[in-house]
Amino acid sequence: MNYCSTITEAPIVNSRGSTQRELLFESFEITDPTAIDIKVEDRKFSTNYALTEWLWYLSCDRNTNNIGKMAKIWNQISDSKGEVESNYGTYIAPQWSWILGELTDDRDSRRATIVINQVHHKFSNEKDYPCTQYIQFFIRENKLHMGVNMRSNDLIFGLCNDVFTFCLFHQLMLNDLNDRGAELELGSYFHHAGSLHVYERHFNMVSSINSKDHDSKECKKFELSSGVTMSGCPVLPQMDMPKEEMQKYTNSVKEKIFREYS
């Protein structure tokens, strides 16, 4: 579905002091979770930033000292200690091994869920209430499928970066299961957002996107090499790094972990 077209007719809401157009309970499927680049020029999507964000998640470091140099929003929503609630790796990593065990023991399991937004978040950092509710994995017909349930998604920034990073976690889980002898193929990625919205500051961008014809060429692919697993995957270092150094680091990681990105 072309959400940029649909959302221009969506109702106006005013949440948390700003104006948005909003669609409720939207879902979509990506049948190839390696084809995760955004080719629309007006969006100016940065795969290097999205990859850096993923490496930050893998570090399980809630501090925004480094990632905040790449995207100022992280500093804006950090608490008095310079930390945020939305480093998803801090929730994913502790539950990862349990998921591996569950899907290894019962390939038809319906219990393979990773909870992210939790009760304590209602009383933690009011500026950062995690958008992601939970992740779920299914093995069906020898394919690993993954679904993500979001309470809220910004169509322009949040959705694009979330899909990129979650599809990499999808591939990473496949590699870890296959490392245990599962012999699975990569299945579909499913995304569900309770609120899919676009902020007023992006209304003109959405209009510009809608005014242009976009060719049908395939998205650039980012396919993890089969040997890249959770335990051996590089992470964003926690030591203080200049922005330029982080960009070089991300580029070096990209050369190492992907089978192809073309």
Average pLDDT rounded to a whole number, residues 193-217: 86
- In the chain the beta strands, taken as DSSP E runs, fall at 12-15, 18-30, 113-115, 132-140, 143-154, 185-199, 223-224, 258-260
Residues 159, 122 contacting (CB under 8 angstroms): no
Rounded to an integer, what distance in angstroms lies between the CA atom of residue 206 and that of residue 200? 10
| pLDDT above 80: residue 261 | no
Rounded to an integer, what distance in angstroms lies between the CA atom of residue 240 and that of residue 208? 38
Rounded to an integer, what distance in angstroms lies between the CA atom of residue 84 and that of residue 75? 8
Residue 7's pLDDT is 92
Q: What is the pLDDT of residues 18-39, one digit of tens each?
A: 999 999 999 999 999 999 998 8
Q: Which domains does the chain have, with CATH numbers?
A: 23-260 (3.30.572.10)
Listed in sequence order, the residues at least 6 apart from 152 whose beta carbon sits closer than 8 Å to its beta carbon are: 131, 158, 193, 194, 195, 197
Average pLDDT over all residues of the chain: 94
Look up residue 61 and give its two tokens.
């470091």
Average pLDDT rounded to a whole number, residues 59-87: 97
Q: 64 vs 42, which has greater pLDDT?
A: 64
| pLDDT above 70: residue 13 | yes
C-alpha distance across the termini of the chain, in Å: 24
**Percent of the chain whose pLDDT exceeds 70:** 96
Average pLDDT rounded to a whole number, residues 45-55: 96
Average pLDDT rounded to a whole number, residues 104-117: 98
Rounded to an integer, what distance in angstroms lies between the CA atom of residue 127 and that of residue 143? 38
Identity of residue 5: S
Residue 212's pLDDT is 77
Predicted TM-score (pTM) of this structure: 0.95
Q: Is 41 exposed, middle or buried (0-12, 13-18, 19+ CB in 10 A)?
A: exposed
Listed in sequence order, the residues at least 6 apart from 159 whose beta carbon sits closer than 8 Å to its beta carbon are: 153, 191, 193, 196
Residue 192's pLDDT is 98
Rounded to an integer, what distance in angstroms lies between the CA atom of residue 108 and that of residue 100? 13
Helix (H, G, I), strand (E, B) or coil at 164: helix
Q: 210 vs 179, which has greater pLDDT?
A: 179
Listed in sequence order, the residues at least 6 apart from 160 whose beta carbon sits closer than 8 Å to its beta carbon are: 38, 43, 45, 50
Band the pLDDT of 211: cuts 50, 70, 90.
confident
Helix (H, G, I), strand (E, B) or coil at 62: coil
Q: 131 vs 218, which has greater pLDDT?
A: 131
Average pLDDT rounded to a whole number, residues 228-253: 97
Band the pLDDT of 260: cuts 50, 70, 90.
low
Band the pLDDT of 3: cuts 50, 70, 90.
confident
**Percent of the chain whose pLDDT exceeds 90:** 87
